[in-house]
Amino acid sequence: MVEDVGVRGVLGAAAALTLGAVALVGVVSWHLTQGTTGVGAGDLVDVVLGRAPDATIDVLVDSRLPRMLAGLVVGVALGVAGAVFQSLARNALASPDTLAVNAGAVAAVTTVAAFGVSVPFVGNTFVAFAGALVAAGLVLLLAGGGAASTTRLILAGSALALALDAVGAAMLLLFDQETTGLFAWGRGTLSQTGLDGVRSMGPVVAATVLFTLVLARRLDLLSLGDDSASSLGVPVLRTRVVGTVLAVLLCACAVNLAGPIGFIGLAAPALTRLTARVVPSVSRHLVLLPLAGLVGAVLVLLTDATLRTLLGAEESLRVPTGVSTTMVGAVALVVLARQARDAGPTRRPASARPGALRGRTRYLLVLTVLIVLAATATLVGMLGGYTWFLTGDIVNWLRGDAVPVVRLGLDERAPRVVAALLAGAALALAGTTTQAVCRNPLAEPSILGVTGGAGAGAVVVVTTVDSPSTALVALAAGIGALVAMVLVYAVTWRGGLDPDRLVLVGIGVAAFGGALVGLLLVWSDPFNTPALYTWLSGSTYGRDWGQVVPVAAALLVTVPSAFLLHRELDLIALDDETPRLVGVRLEPLRVVALAVAAVLAATAVAAVGTVAFVGLVAPHAARALVAGRHLRVLPIAMLLGAILLSVADTVGRTVIVPAEMPAGLVVAVVGAPYFLWLLYRSRV
């Protein structure tokens, strides 16, 4: 009987691999027929039969074959790497994207290029490998490795990816000459200038895949748990280290060849594991790893060929392959997140617990100090810039007696300073309400997709409407934020709202929104791209009073509502049962709180662009200062958010004059390490 089961298993595995190979051959054949010239399926048959003219062969060899082979190599590398990551972490949502591996590789390559270091093509692989390895190690360390809950792991990876993306964006903005050509590569593209890249990376990927197969037996046993695997003779730590290094090397090769091709490393292993329900032997890593590689290659080439068919060969060249795969992968992430059973919620840090009340004197002292700091930040923001003014200049400007140079300078700075203050307060309030609803102090509007939805809505209008008004941009941002919020809430709902699932679905929606924004940037007028990119990085550049009004109006409406609901927020932050016991209607309250967060995030995006981490750092720091009651946390968090974004804006305008660094990038540099520190403190 055992022998019969073994035979059936071998036959099933062989059939699965054969079907994968056949599917790949079919997709490769279709992919080779897509291009700007008239070479089609009949010409491919002529090539196979040896009767094709030289012109046809030249088109295939010089143009289509390099693109197809690049997709093949990248798909195999990412598919196998994703399967290894998921097995090592025992987490179906682990992937090169959710573990920040691709982001680390891109940031490393971009940084090296920005500083003018000339590295040969193969050398870039080592640069990407170093950046990716550091990112993966940091995420796994902070999240707890194989013991990590799904929420913790994805939060750590998403936060680090945001920070690394900010580093890469800063390099692109500050060193635009040195990083020429990296913008398109940073979105993920299969376009190749020849076969040199494939010749360099193909053998490395093939050899690395073979090495991962050597670990197949250990990975099978590791799925039983660390203790069980160790008792069966598996060196657990060594296996994790070697497996991580091999998977990261595969990702580095893929990134070096084609940039970050998003979410293939998530979708390919997930689809492969689904076949294990029909063919159980597929769950063995000796079959799972190569089959995931085949599926990854099919997904990359199928997405690319479909895009070229729908848009046409020439128009599709403007759309990076990484953008389209990220859209598909983001949907896969949402589906997997909806089905996932988390290993446990992220524990609240001690400073985030309601706990014992702090004294009223302490609260008033903190409030007074922060008001003084906010006033000081406002004053310094008005004084600082390309030209530093004096306090007397501001007094004269307020009286209307300033000289023209001072008047023009302060007229330009005033709306920027006020926009930063109000947007910071709005994001902090949005973050506070979001964290109460999710009962997770590591959640914020940008991670839940609300900020990304607002940014996508605004960019849609900016890229499709000639000279859109401020009100129209704000309206579009609001609609985008509300659509994202409704989508996240609706997809998450399964007879109730699970806070951890809400975070995971939000990350998927945020990824889709980011890919949509990248697509719109590519399709927009090239002359507008730098300005849009700067705005999306979170900048107050060129703000006017019309762009400040929406966020001010939103605060006037939502702040009183938030304070009226402070007791309900205290209750909902505890658990689901306590609010119901005291008569609080839980779901309507969640809807209202998330709607408030969406409106605030949308108007903040309209005022200063997309800014991450303010909604995380400010509420948590407020709870650390005055404990967990929202009556006290709300004003403290808003002041901290206003101060943080205002200081970031001033620093961005003054440290590298005459150039400017967007405030969102400055905040990310500070906020991401703080986020990771919080995650480290909250580990179980």
3-class secondary-structure state, position 269: helix
Taking the CB of residue 114, how many other CB atoms lie within 10 A of it?
A: 21
Question: What pLDDT band is residue 33 in, cutting at 50, 70 and 90?
Answer: confident
Angle between helices 470-492 and 545-564 (to 10 degrees): 40
Q: Could you report the per-residue pLDDT of 266-321, keeping only the tens digit for each?
A: 889 988 988 887 888 888 999 999 999 999 999 999 988 888 887 776 777 777 88
Average pLDDT over residues 559-564: 88
Q: Among the listed ranges 203-207, 238-242, 386-390, 655-659, which one has the minimum average pLDDT value? A: 655-659
pLDDT for res 420: 93
Q: Which residue has the higher pLDDT, 380 or 139?
A: 380
pLDDT for res 205: 95
What DSSP character marks residue 60? I
pLDDT for res 72: 95
Q: Which residue has the higher pLDDT, 221 or 57?
A: 221
pLDDT of 352 > 60? The answer is no
Q: What angle do CA 203, 208, 210 make, to 5 degrees?
A: 100
Q: Which residue has the higher pLDDT, 604 or 529?
A: 604
Average pLDDT over residues 258-268: 88
Q: Among the listed ranges 50-59, 248-257, 474-483, which one has the minimum average pLDDT value? A: 50-59
Q: How far is CA 217 from the centre of its chain?
A: 33
Handedness of CA 443, 225, 291, 491 (dihedral sign): negative
What percentage of the chain has pLDDT greater than the value 90?
A: 24
Q: What is the Cα Rg of the chain in Å?
A: 26
What DSSP character marks residue 496? S
The residue behind tokens 């520190």 is 677
How far is residue 589's CA from residue 538's CA, in Å, rounded to a whole number?
A: 30
Average pLDDT over residues 132-136: 91
Question: What pLDDT band is residue 353 in, cutting at 50, 70 and 90?
Answer: very low
pLDDT for res 594: 81
Question: What pLDDT band is residue 346 in, cutting at 50, 70 and 90?
Answer: very low
pLDDT of 403 > 70? The answer is yes
pLDDT for res 556: 93
Q: For the chain, what percentages of helix, strand and coil (3-state, to nearest 5) are there?
A: 75, 0, 25
Q: Which residue has the higher pLDDT, 568 or 312?
A: 568
pLDDT of 683 > 70? The answer is no
Average pLDDT, the chain: 81
Task: Decide: 665 and 653 in contact? Cβ < 8 Å.
Answer: no
pLDDT for res 119: 77
Average pLDDT over residues 163-182: 74
Q: Could you report the per-residue pLDDT of 608-641, keeping only the tens digit for each?
A: 888 878 888 888 888 888 877 888 999 999 999 9
pLDDT of 585 > 80? The answer is no
Average pLDDT over residues 59-78: 87
How far is residue 351's CA from residue 622's CA, in Å, rounded to a whole number?
A: 9
Average pLDDT over residues 196-200: 90
pLDDT of 341 > 70? The answer is no
pLDDT of 511 > 60? The answer is yes
What percentage of the chain has pLDDT greater than the value 70?
A: 86
How far is residue 152's CA from residue 193's CA, in Å, rounded to a whole number?
A: 41
Q: What angle do CA 128, 134, 138 make, to 5 degrees?
A: 145
pLDDT of 553 > 80? The answer is yes
All domains of the chain in start order, with CATH: 17-339 (1.10.3470.10), 350-681 (1.10.3470.10)
How far is residue 669's CA from residue 466's CA, in Å, rounded to a whole number?
A: 34
Contacts of 616 (CB under 8 A, 6+ apart): 431, 442, 443, 444, 447, 671, 674, 675, 678
Whole-model pTM: value is 0.80
* Runs of H (alpha helix) within 175-235: 182-185, 196-214, 216-222, 226-231
Tokens found for residue 293? 């590689």
Task: Decide: 249 and 183 in contact? Cβ < 8 Å.
Answer: no
